[in-house]
């Protein structure tokens, strides 16, 4: 355990040196405040844009606070996922390519500790960044519209964060499998896009898909409570994380020993 904690501390320090603890949270905050502010001032923005007939009146229905937060979460589904993949696609591939991984693994360091410590560092970064970004969305939604109960906020935060963790683990799996970070990132995005498309197209057959957690988080924000399918989807998401992480260790070890 002391070895694993040392590797985790090394990963956290490395992220500080790469400024990930600065630019990733700031980016998530910018993503978070964008939706409520843009939604609130949309009539004024359209009016300033001009091009409308004289005397025309812009009437846009005022969305509920829950709808604004759901739209904010939608930004994390697109831009947030892209940031996660870009910031973690080289977490194993880049170190193996540069030879840093080989230097560390020459010492009595287990492959499992090395990979899982990398994963844990990524999880801390993603959950911290998502928390402060989503808090910004919740705060500005409360100021400009109305306040969503804090318990609903944290419930939706947990289930949505679980899906983001699945995405992170997919990225680490490809980072362990491939030598080039760019290809690992592209493969991760492709898999996430395909899973989202398939799950949304036949959602009635894939109610327990981990990607459905985004929709279940939205239902919580609309005051519908936790869906009956949320727990099975969460269990399957956790199972996917464990399986992908175990495969990442096996594949990374096999490729390191073969090189």
The average pLDDT across 109-132 equals: 93
Task: Annotate 114-149 with DSSP letters as a single string.
Answer: HHHHHHHHHHHHHHHHHHHHHHHHHHHHHHHT-PPP
Compute CA distances 237 → 8, 44, 242, whole Å.
23, 42, 9
Which pLDDT score is estimated for 256?
65
- Helices within 18-110 (DSSP H only): 20-40, 42-49, 65-75, 81-88, 93-98, 100-105
Angle between helices 42-49 and 20-40 (to 10 degrees): 80
CB 173 within 8 A of CB 199: no
Chain centroid, CA 249 distance in Å: 21
pLDDT digits (tens, 9 = 90+) for 124-164: 999 999 999 999 999 999 999 999 999 999 999 999 999 99
Which pLDDT score is estimated for 52?
57
Percent of the chain surpassing pLDDT 70: 92
Helix, strand, or coil (residue 225): coil
Confidence band, pLDDT 50/70/90 cuts, at residue 90: confident
* Mean pLDDT score across all residues of the chain: 88
Cα angle 247, 251, 252 (rounded to 5 degrees) comes to 115
Q: Which residues, 6+ apart, have CB-to-CB distance to 12 below 8 Å?
A: 21, 121, 124
pLDDT digits (tens, 9 = 90+) for 42-80: 777 766 665 556 655 566 677 899 999 999 998 898 899
Using alpha carbons, select from 163, 179, 165, 160 the residue that is nearest to residue 122: 165
Q: Which of 93-102, 166-175, 201-210 has the lowest mean pLDDT?
A: 93-102
Which pLDDT score is estimated for 203?
77
């Amino acid at each position: 355990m002391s070895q694993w904690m040392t590797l985790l501390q090394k990963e956290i320090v490395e992220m500080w040196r790469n400024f990930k603890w600065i630019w990733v949270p700031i980016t998530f905050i910018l993503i978070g405040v964008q939706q409520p502010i843009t939604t609130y001032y949309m009539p004024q923005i359209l009016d300033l844009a001009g091009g409308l007939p004289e005397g025309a009146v812009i009437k846009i229905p005022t969305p509920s606070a829950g709808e604004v937060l759901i739209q904010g979460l939608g930004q994390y589904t697109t831009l947030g996922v892209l940031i996660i993949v870009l910031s973690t696609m080289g977490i194993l591939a880049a170190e193996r390519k540069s030879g840093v991984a080989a230097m560390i693994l020459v010492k009595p360091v287990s492959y499992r500790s090395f990979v899982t410590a990398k994963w844990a560092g990524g999880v801390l970064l993603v959950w911290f960044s998502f928390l402060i970004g989503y808090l910004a969305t919740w705060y500005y939604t409360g100021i400009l519209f109305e306040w969503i109960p804090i318990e609903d906020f944290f419930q939706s935060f947990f289930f949505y964060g679980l899906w983001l963790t699945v995405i992170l683990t997919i990225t680490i799996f490809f980072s362990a499998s491939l030598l080039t970070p760019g290809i690992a990132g592209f493969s991760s995005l492709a898999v996430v896009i395909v899973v989202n498309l398939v799950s949304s197209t036949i959602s009635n057959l894939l109610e327990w898909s981990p990607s459905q957690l985004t929709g279940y988080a939205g239902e919580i924000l609309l005051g519908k409570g936790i869906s009956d399918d949320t727990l099975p989807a969460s269990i399957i998401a956790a199972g996917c994380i464990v399986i992908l992480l175990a495969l990442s260790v096996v594949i990374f070890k096999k490729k390191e020993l073969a090189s």
